[in-house]
Amino acid sequence: MYQTKAYSVASASASFTSDTIQRREPTERDVQIEILFCGVCHSDLHTARDEWSSVMPTTYPCVPGHEIVGRVTGIGSQVTSHGIGDLVGVGCMVDSDHICPTCQDHQEQFCHNGTYTYNSPDKHGTAPVTYGGYSESIVVDERFVLRVPANLDLAGVAPLLCAGITTYSPIRRWGDLTGKKVGVVGLGGLGHMGVKFARAFGAHVVVFTTSPHKKEDALRLGAHEVIISTNTEAMQQHAGTFNFILDTIAADHDINAYINMLGRDGNITLVGAPDTPLQVSAFALLFGRKSLSGSLIGGIEETQEMLDFCGEHSIISDVEIIPIQQINQAYERLVKSDVKYRFSIDMASLKVE
């Protein structure tokens, strides 16, 4: 085992402070990565503050971070897919059992024996739970390490590892979006990636936002139209016209307002994960045979496909780069929906501590 610097929280109400954590030495199939950038996902905040306690309670100390980009500094003797010096990414998962039907189907995110990048029991016994990317380095099974296209800016690549795949996967799964009317609800980390992908796949993209000042940005990011969701008249004008809506809202909200936007056989897919249950009107779904689904990140194969797609189309996240020392202020701004459109932590800042 070796020690590496990190930022952790000691309880649900604590601020982040500098810490030192243990990592395992790379085993045969492991890749050791010096972390260069780590995105700040709203799931990090939900977890650090134990907002998902009823589903996934948090073990402290907690080191979040699952949008990791870095450089390979060490490999185990059996590693074949990555070499020292390679630029690589790690997302929300670091292990699965590889043998269950779900893994065989390349859907490791649903493996019952899977390991999340942070706050999962650590199968290697290095620590009580896994520790994420708000740290100097990480050691990960090579099968969960992704190749990063060489032409993309690394600070903007990091958020692709969660926000990117979480929006890419349901958009791809929906089918041919050419000319379809697609809504993206909430212009945050996930939402702004959803806009970029829906546009890249040929949809007519409409952003629903509670923040009027984000309108210009939404259009710049690729939206054709923007609806201020608090404007009832504007909402009514678009009622019943959407084929597909991606809901990325992180807090409780009236989902029926968006179900009403769908046309016949339209689908709304939840990727946002509010900590309290949403109230769904049966009638809103029945009339028009509409459906409501959920989606969780994506499998490793699909994550690589997404990264390659981003390389080919020069797609990255719009980021505000911060030093790790500003993580507490960043969380306060995240709660206020005040980030354009993802914080990306420059991990070089941790070295100077």
**Binding interface with ligand NAP (CB under 6 A):** 41-43, 46, 162, 166, 186-191, 209-211, 214, 248-251, 253, 271-273, 295-297, 334, 337, 339
Gap between the Cα atoms of 6 and 347, Å rounded: 10
**Three-class SS of residue 332?**
helix
Assign 105 to helix, strand or coil.
Answer: coil
Residue 32: CB minimum distance to ligand NAP, A: 26
Binding mask 30-59 for Zn ion (x = CB under 5 A): -----------x-x----------------
Q: Which does 111 bind (CB under 5 to 8 A by kind): ligand NAP, Zn ion, none?
A: none
Instruction: Using CB under 5 A, count the residues that bind Zn ion.
Output: 3
- Residue 36 is inside which H or E element, if any? strand 30-40
Angstrom distances, CA of residue 225 to CA of 208, 244, 275 = 9, 15, 30
Shortest spacing between CB 339 and Zn ion, in angstroms: 14
The token pair at 254 is 């009236």
Containing 138, the helix (H) or strand (E) segment is strand 137-141
Structure tokens at 74: 């060490």
β-partners of residue 231 are none
Cβ proximity to ligand NAP: between 49 and 214 the closer is 214
Nearest approach, Cβ of 17 to Zn ion (angstroms)?
22
- In the bound complex, which residue of the shown chain has the CB atom lying closest to ligand NAP? 188
Sole residue written with tokens 């008249």: 233
Q: Is the Cα torsion angle 69, 72, 74, 75 positive or negative in sign?
A: positive
Contact between 300 and Zn ion (CB under 5 A)?
no
- With CB atoms as reference, the residue minimizing the distance to Zn ion is 41
CB 129, CB 199: distance < 8 Å: no
Which range in 126-134, 160-168, 213-221, 288-296 contacts Zn ion by CB under 5 A? Answer: 160-168
Q: Which partner in Zn ion, ligand NAP, none is near 187 (CB below 5 to 8 A by kind)?
A: ligand NAP
In angstroms, what is the minimal distance from the CB of 263 to ligand NAP? 22
| Token pair 């909200």: residue | 253
Least Cβ distance, residue 11 to ligand NAP (angstroms): 20
Does residue 162 touch Zn ion according to CB under 5 A? yes
Give the interface with Zn ion as residue ranges (CB under 5 A).
41, 43, 162
